[in-house]
Amino acid sequence: MSQRNDTTDGGKGDQCAGAPFSAEPAMVLIVEPHGAEREGVLSALRDPTMCCDTAATIADAIIAMEREEYDAAIIPMALEDGQGFDLVRLIESSSQHTKTIMLADRPLVTDAVDAMRSGAVDLLAVPIAEAELLAAVVSAVDKARHDRKRTEKAEHLKSLCKKLHTSQQKMAENVDSLSTDLIDAYGDLESHQQAEPAGFAEQISNDLDIESLLRKSLEHMLALTGPTNAAVFLPCNHSDFNLGAYVNYDCPRDTVDVLLDQLADLLAPNLQGLEGVVSLSGGDEISAFLGDDAGWLTDYEVVAFSCRADDESLAVIAFFRELGRDFSPETTAELKSMGDLLADQLAKVVRIHHRHMPDHEWSGWFEEEDDDELGWS
């Protein structure tokens, strides 16, 4: 049966204090059927950083490992109920991170090869100096804890990725829902071709909800432009933008998400520092401004601008529709005026939502760990 020696025997047993590399004791399992040899190993490991259990057989060792995860195990080549290699392979195939050291009388090269293939980290010839055995155990403990920490980090990363995936799914559902709402609202407003910036300012002046604010803004702007595609991009840090809201008028439904994500990468960063309106017509102008990657916009008229407040871009808005249906200078000017009013309101929202946070803890839109507060990226 497994046996653990306590720390109250005046130094005769194994001591459990601090481990070599952490505040936890190094847990070591000594598998040895012969009392004299077992006492020899215990004597070598009588160190304040070690806590040792003993087992005489493979069956006893299995029972011990069901109760405890060991950092290292010391196993002879021959045991009463099987070969040491069998136990090493069993430990190696388990979910534990235990590192094994094998002991052998006059081991051959083939023994060393078999030990390594079984998963042992070391093969020592007995009799062995106590200092050499202690050094081998300390090295095995270090490897075990390194592997255990790496596994814990990987599991933590998987958990974070799962949370991120869930958050992205929720965000996509919110954006799709908003797009549907905007299309429905656009059908009601399509006949109204003019919008009053002053009335627009009054409509949004008390709106502190991002989803509602963007919905109202696009409704008023679409009433001004008539039928068109529209997208609002929100900054997620100093140079990256995410899609915040959109209206799909005539883009292919199965590719619209990809196309708008491309605009977030190409158009929004180029506009965030500009004060005025960018108007692009057809392939040459679009390629000159955005590069060849935006070739799908070749047959479109584009009007886009940055909504800036306090020298920061708080949103980038783009409108695009087929060539020949250009945006008049008057319409463009009114859109920019409404964008400036939207920027002022977005700045107000940012101040309110972040006034409890020190300035150094945020440098742009929602860079908090929890993105579910408003449901926007």
Q: pLDDT-derived band of residue 293, with 50, 70 and 90 as boundaries?
A: confident
Q: What is the largest CA-CA distance in the chain?
A: 98
pLDDT digits (tens, 9 = 90+) for 109-162: 888 888 899 899 999 998 889 999 999 999 999 999 998 888 888 888 888 887
Task: Find where tokens 């012969």 sit.
Answer: 34
DSSP 275-335: -SEEEEEHHHHHHHHH-GGGGGGTTEEEEEEEEEETTEEEEEEEEEEETT-PPPHHHHHHH
Please state the pTM of the whole predicted model: 0.45
Whole-number CA gyration radius for the chain: 34
Residues 6+ apart with CB under 8 A from 133: 41, 44, 45, 74, 124
If we measure between CA atoms, which residue out of 121, 117, 81 comes closest to residue 103? Answer: 121
**Which domains does the chain show, CATH number per domain?**
3-156 (3.40.50.2300), 190-361 (3.30.450.40)
Q: Taking 80 as the threshold, does the pLDDT of residue 354 lie above it?
A: no
Contact residues for 210 (Cβ-Cβ < 8 A; gap 6+)? 244, 349, 374, 375, 376
pLDDT at 3: 53
Closest CA to 121 of 94, 145, 139: 139
Helix (H) or strand (E) holding 247: strand 241-247
